A and B are shown apart, each in its own frame.
Chain A
Amino acid sequence: MGRLLGIVIWGITIASVWMFVSGKWWFPASISEHGGRVDSQFMITIIVVGISFTAAQVGLGWVVWKFRDNADKQRATYSHGNNRLEVVWTVVTAVIFISLGIMGQRVWASLHLHNAPPGSLQVEVVAQQFSWNFHYAGKDKAFGRTDPNLIDDSALNYVGIDETDPNAKDDAVVSTLVIPANRPVELILRSKDVTHSFFVPQLRFKQDLVPGMNIRVHFTANRVGKYELACAELCGMNHYKMKSFMLVLPENEFSELVTMPQDKFQARTAELMAKYQLPTY
């Protein structure tokens, strides 16, 4: 029984490690400046995790193989432990785990402990049950005033723009996120109803949109293309299809688009959506 258990534990270990190293299931390729750093921090972490996991399982498999009771009437080793070993493994794991923990703050700190760089493109993102709205400031680069009391979905005023505000005249609200490549983007995240979460896997970025809060985040996408945007916080019955797209455009295409008025903006976005393809998975 001890041998069988040892072999089964080793078999499970091999299968589990294979799942990670086979390459069949892996992140979609990164498209953001910080994405590569997230991936390499993950690689470091998963190597530590893989070694610890394998060592513990192989060790466990080995002791159950080796120390089974083979009825030779001998007694087990009488030992209450070993303080030196306790100190050694406590210190070693503390150093490794806490170092990993500190390293794991670097990308986070680089994005979240700084304001968006000057010249970032600002987009207001307003989530609602099962759809996304992206509010662009237009030519004047100033957002029109918004007020939740002015929101009226039936009149297509999804984000509550105050039409009487002169800054609102050239604003556009669309259902696809369009951003330039290689330029920092600042999103101002809001929700109209319940908590949602902005998640583009390729971007290596996620942030909840919380009703009552304006959450400002920033990142830089560095690969042109069309990507799926998913909601990653349970928001109600159709959570699984609260889907949109993020278009990352070359600067020239983007700057042309972003100054267009609402209707042209929408039409041109539709053209660009058809032009770019999703990555192949």
Chain B
Amino acid sequence: MAEATHEEVHRHPAPTGFIRKYIFSIDHKVIGIQYILLALAAVLVGMIMSVLMRVNLSWPGTHIKILETLFPQGAPGGVMSPEFYLSLVTMHGTIMVFFVLTTAPQGGFGNYFLPIQIGADDMAFPYLNMLSFWVTFVGFIVILLAIFAEGNATVGGWFTALGASWAGGSGTVGPIGGWTGYAPLSALGKIAGPGQGAGVNLWIISVAIFCVGSLLGALNFITTLLNMRAPGMSLMRMPLTCWAWFTTAVLALLSFPVLLGGGILLMLDRMVGTSFFIPGGLYVSGSTVPLHTGGSPLLWQHLFWFFGHPEVYIAIVPGMGATSHILSTFARKPVFGYRAMVFAIFAIGMLGFFVWGHHMFMSGMSPYSAIAFSVLTLSIGVPSAIKTFNWIGTLWGARIRFTTPMLFAIGFVSLFVAGGITGLVLGQTSLDFFFHDTYFVTAHFHLVMGVASIFGMFAATYFWFPKMFGRMMNEGLGKVHFWITFVGVYAIFIPFHAMGLLGMPRRYARFDEYEFLKNSKGLVLFVTIAAIITVIAQLIFYFNFFVSIWKGAKAGDNPWEATTLEWGIPSPPPHDNFAGIVPVVHHGPYEFSVPGAPNDFIMQTDPEGISVHADSGGVSGNGGNGHRH
């Protein structure tokens, strides 16, 4: 690899006006923080929705005063209707997957730290970067609008005026088709049920806008990483975080356009009478559906999952990167098997494009393709196991410092194993005869793409907060937050497996219709209580985060004694990151506890060439010997 960049350094002055500095900023660091704040807002909405769902499942018929005030139609007397519950399911999933799990890990931390970690002064296309965020922000506003377009009669009325397919005000808080929006339920409009008018339209528009934002972001990440690395920053000297963000960007680049295309086709089916997903001869709510013919509901599923499966890796891969990085830092040890980690992360990403059909075993798809998808799915377990082994290998022989970010990183490993391993069950066609669309699935993906990813982000937040804001988060509060959350998420999601074993279908507003579910009452209640406690514990995090921005203890440049480039510059970094000096990289990213070195860490930019021989620990190391590749 030739030296990556050596262009003329010209310093951009920092913007002075409030708007250019904090709102329409082109500084990747400000944009990163904007993404993180967006995710913090979105996750609050998503969590409130999950608590409401749990309340409905455990105590159906509960009067919730605020619901009555806000949504007199969907929750008459403050009691949720089944369709209100389903719209919560849909919106919880959509908001969490898109606006939390895709924004914070990549748009947030990736934006802030990828350029710094490779020694660049900003993203390749700063204006595009600003545009990515603001496009995503508009997407978020649109999804919030869906809540009121369906939930509020007045707002619904405004949309109804736009035409038949826009009818709103049906008393839900959005569409009722789940985050997967399966056609034709999502394509037929109002006749298919409440929430399927303006709610679905706004849902599609929001998701489409989000796709555009993510696509622009992905282009920027890939270009920046390939073209703007500092001298000496060979690909194999990049921190694993950068590999993770790069892989994620490739996934986003290849998968979001497919969802965008699917969304546009779905919109056309709804608004102009095309039939991409609507077959002929339908009879809905007491009358035949005229005009449509020849569409395929399975086409939507293929398009959706071609995006949807890579999307789960988009959510978790940055967490893998952050975890590897943080484990190494606080283990005071190099990452075990750096090269294997790079290959594994890329293998997971690429294999992720060949397994989408495992969401569709029961869909009526060819049983032969199901077999191919199934075997490929099980093979993703291999790179996932490699990562787990290497994480444990990194901790082996370590001198672990149990800081809050380290606790969350270790929690990530535990949760990734717990959630990922049940993929061995769900990936098998024969077992999905029973488990498909049961709570076993809900358990699996919440643990692995939900909370494991979130643990990666908590670890990242506690770890990089001092760099971002120049102040430390409170360690004591951080630890309380960790313990409650770690035990809490297990208490919520392990019992989901037991519900799955009983055969409990997901997306049911109530469970009391079926005798075979009657043994689940205790479990459901247990989960509800655990969920409420865990959600309340997140207030500790919000408090710690926002108070520490202004009141936290001052952080030095390198409070964790870490090695990568961001720790060699002030906290918070200046506008152009390296103050006009192009850093030169001399070492691999994880040179901890090098024998003979004066400290137990060697910064990547440290020109002192403590000779580190690759043979001191096996050739799978990342070659910290100072040679360019």
Contact assessment for B621 and A81 in the assembled complex, using a CB-CB cutoff below 8 Å: yes
B86 at the interface (CB under 8 A from A): yes
Contact assessment for A93 and B431 in the assembled complex, using a CB-CB cutoff below 8 Å: no
A63 at the interface (CB under 8 A from B): yes
B82 closest partner in A (C-beta): A237
Contact assessment for A113 and B367 in the assembled complex, using a CB-CB cutoff below 8 Å: yes
Residues of chain A contacted by B514 (CB below 8 angstroms)? 228, 230, 243
Among candidates B188, B333, B340, residue contacting A194 with C-beta atoms closer than 8 Å? B188
Q: Mark A118-145, 1 if CB is under 8 A from B, else 0.
A: 0000000000110000000000000000
- Which of B18-26, B302-310, B373-381 is found at the contact surface with chain A? B373-381
Contact assessment for A69 and B188 in the assembled complex, using a CB-CB cutoff below 8 Å: no
Say whether, besides A76-B592, A211-B297, A82 and B400 are in contact (CB < 8 Å): no
CA distance A17 to B579 in the complex (A): 54
Contact assessment for B284 and A108 in the assembled complex, using a CB-CB cutoff below 8 Å: no
Contact assessment for B363 and A208 in the assembled complex, using a CB-CB cutoff below 8 Å: yes
Contact assessment for A107 and B379 in the assembled complex, using a CB-CB cutoff below 8 Å: no
Q: State which size class the interface on B falls in.
A: 35 or more
CA distance A148 to B284 in the complex (A): 11
B402 closest partner in A (C-beta): A1
B337 at the interface (CB under 8 A from A): yes
Residues of chain A contacted by B422 (CB below 8 angstroms)? 49
Q: Mark B81-122, 1 if CB is under 8 A from A, else 0.
A: 111001000000000000000000000000000000000000
Contact assessment for B177 and A234 in the assembled complex, using a CB-CB cutoff below 8 Å: yes
A240 at the interface (CB under 8 A from B): yes
Say whether, besides A104-B428, A208-B363, A77 and B396 are in contact (CB < 8 Å): yes
Q: Mark A1-30, 1 if CB is under 8 A from B, else 0.
A: 110010011001001100110001111100
Q: State which size class the interface on A falls in.
A: 35 or more
Among candidates A46, A64, A98, A109, residue contacting B395 with C-beta atoms closer than 8 Å? A64
A16 closest partner in B (C-beta): B494
Among candidates B486, B513, B523, residue contacting A240 with C-beta atoms closer than 8 Å? B513
- Which of B146-154, B258-266, B501-509, B544-552 is found at the contact surface with chain A? B501-509
Among candidates B298, B495, B515, B523, residue contacting A210 with C-beta atoms closer than 8 Å? B298
Among candidates A26, A53, A76, A201, residue contacting B331 with C-beta atoms closer than 8 Å? A76
Contact assessment for A149 and B281 in the assembled complex, using a CB-CB cutoff below 8 Å: yes
- Which of B158-166, B221-229, B410-418 is found at the contact surface with chain A? B410-418
B141 at the interface (CB under 8 A from A): no
Residues of chain B contacted by A234 (CB below 8 angstroms)? 86, 176-178, 182, 185, 507
Residues of chain A contacted by B184 (CB below 8 angstroms)? 193-195, 211
CA distance A149 to B281 in the complex (A): 7
Residues of chain B contacted by A243 (CB below 8 angstroms)? 513-514
CA distance A205 to B288 in the complex (A): 31
A59 at the interface (CB under 8 A from B): yes
B257 at the interface (CB under 8 A from A): no
Contact assessment for B382 and A81 in the assembled complex, using a CB-CB cutoff below 8 Å: no
A86 closest partner in B (C-beta): B340
CA distance A45 to B592 in the complex (A): 40
In the complex, what's the smallest C-beta–C-beta distance from B334 to chain A, in angstroms? Answer: 5
Among candidates B194, B337, B381, B386, residue contacting A82 with C-beta atoms closer than 8 Å? B337
Residues of chain A contacted by B280 (CB below 8 angstroms)? 148, 212
CA distance A208 to B364 in the complex (A): 6
Residues of chain A contacted by B401 (CB below 8 angstroms)? 69
Contact assessment for B336 and A81 in the assembled complex, using a CB-CB cutoff below 8 Å: yes
In the complex, what's the smallest C-beta–C-beta distance from B312 to chain A, in angstroms? Answer: 18
Contact assessment for B424 and A106 in the assembled complex, using a CB-CB cutoff below 8 Å: no
In the complex, what's the smallest C-beta–C-beta distance from B276 to chain A, in angstroms? Answer: 12
B614 at the interface (CB under 8 A from A): yes
A255 at the interface (CB under 8 A from B): no
A229 closest partner in B (C-beta): B514
Contact assessment for A208 and B362 in the assembled complex, using a CB-CB cutoff below 8 Å: yes
Q: Mark A63-78, 1 if CB is under 8 A from B, else 0.
A: 1100111000011111
Residues of chain A contacted by B177 (CB below 8 angstroms)? 234
Contact assessment for A64 and B364 in the assembled complex, using a CB-CB cutoff below 8 Å: no
CA distance A105 to B374 in the complex (A): 8
- Which of B61-69, B131-139, B239-247, B593-601 is found at the contact surface with chain A? B593-601
CA distance A12 to B411 in the complex (A): 12
In the complex, what's the smallest C-beta–C-beta distance from A281 to chain B, in angstroms? Answer: 5
Residues of chain B contacted by A46 (CB below 8 angstroms)? 425
CA distance A5 to B386 in the complex (A): 23
B16 at the interface (CB under 8 A from A): no
Contact assessment for A97 and B424 in the assembled complex, using a CB-CB cutoff below 8 Å: yes
Say whether, besides A27-B434, A67-B396, A104-B429, A201 and B193 are in contact (CB < 8 Å): no
Most-contacted residue by chain B among A16, A45, A212, A213 (CB, 10 A):
A212
Residues of chain A contacted by B337 (CB below 8 angstroms)? 80-82, 85-86
Contact assessment for B283 and A151 in the assembled complex, using a CB-CB cutoff below 8 Å: yes
Interface residues of B in 368-413 (CB under 8 A from A): 368, 370-371, 374-375, 377-379, 381-382, 385-386, 388-390, 392-393, 395-402, 407, 410, 413
Residues of chain B contacted by A232 (CB below 8 angstroms)? 362, 436-438, 505
Residues of chain A contacted by B616 (CB below 8 angstroms)? 78-80
A45 closest partner in B (C-beta): B425
In the complex, what's the smallest C-beta–C-beta distance from A150 to chain B, in angstroms? Answer: 10
Interface residues of A in 230-249 (CB under 8 A from B): 230-241, 243
Residues of chain A contacted by B37 (CB below 8 angstroms)? none
Among candidates A8, A77, A206, A235, residue contacting B362 with C-beta atoms closer than 8 Å? A206
CA distance A172 to B145 in the complex (A): 48
Residues of chain B contacted by A240 (CB below 8 angstroms)? 82, 507-511, 513
Q: Mark B581-601, 1 if CB is under 8 A from A, else 0.
A: 000000000001111000010
23 pairs, CB–CB < 8 Å, chain A vs chain B: A12-B490, A15-B490, A19-B494, A27-B434, A28-B502, A64-B400, A78-B593, A81-B338, A85-B337, A85-B393, A101-B428, A103-B428, A108-B428, A148-B288, A154-B286, A197-B436, A199-B505, A204-B433, A207-B364, A212-B282, A232-B436, A234-B182, A243-B514
Since A9-B414, A64-B402, A232-B437 are in contact, a sample of 14 more A-B pairs with Cβ atoms closer than 8 Å, ordered by chain A residue number, is A67-B400, A68-B400, A69-B400, A78-B593, A79-B618, A80-B617, A81-B337, A86-B337, A105-B374, A108-B371, A129-B192, A194-B182, A206-B436, A237-B83
Residues of A in contact with B (beta carbons under 8 Å apart): 1-2, 5, 8-9, 12, 15-16, 19-20, 24-28, 37-38, 41-42, 45-46, 48-49, 52-53, 56-57, 59-60, 63-64, 67-69, 74-83, 85-86, 89-90, 93-94, 97-98, 100-109, 112-113, 128-129, 148-149, 151, 153-154, 160, 192-195, 197, 199, 201-202, 204-208, 210-213, 215, 228, 230-241, 243, 278, 281
